[in-house]
Amino acid sequence: MERDDEFGRLACAVNEMAQAVARRIRSLEETDRMRRELMAGIGHDLRTPLAALLGYAEEARRLLQQGNPSAAAEALAVVEERGRHLQRLVEALFELSLLERPELPL
């Protein structure tokens, strides 16, 4: 039974505020879940080219030690390519972080 006096209206207002807070909490939890998924994806996207880069660098060193400079140069070209790819990923991540910064007042 709802009351139609000050206490009833106050109770209704408190219930509405509690529901609004609950909705906001669910929204924040969803945002946090999406942020965690994004960070996991970013970690994977950075690890993959980094592992390839290091693998080709090791291969280039091995090839140089074996006296095969042309094959080492090919491996180093891949290192440069992977390094540029990794650099683009990091730059995109930096740009994303700039979008999340609050605007500073002028």
**pLDDT tens string 37-62:** 888 888 888 888 889 899 999 999 99
Closest CA to 43 of 1, 93, 79: 93
Is residue 73 pLDDT above 80, yes or no?
yes
Under a CB-based contact definition with an 8 Å cutoff, are residues 85 and 49 in contact?
yes
Confidence of residue 102 (pLDDT cuts 50, 70, 90): low
Sequence-separated (6 or more) residues with CB below 8 Å from residue 79 = 53, 56, 57, 60
CA–CA gap between residue 29 and residue 79 (Å, rounded): 40
CB-based contact 78:60 (threshold 8 Å): no
List the structure tokens of 51. 């592992």
Residue type, 102: P
Architecture of domain 6-100: Orthogonal Bundle (1.10)
Cα distance between residue 27 and residue 58, in whole Å: 47
- Residue 1's pLDDT is 59
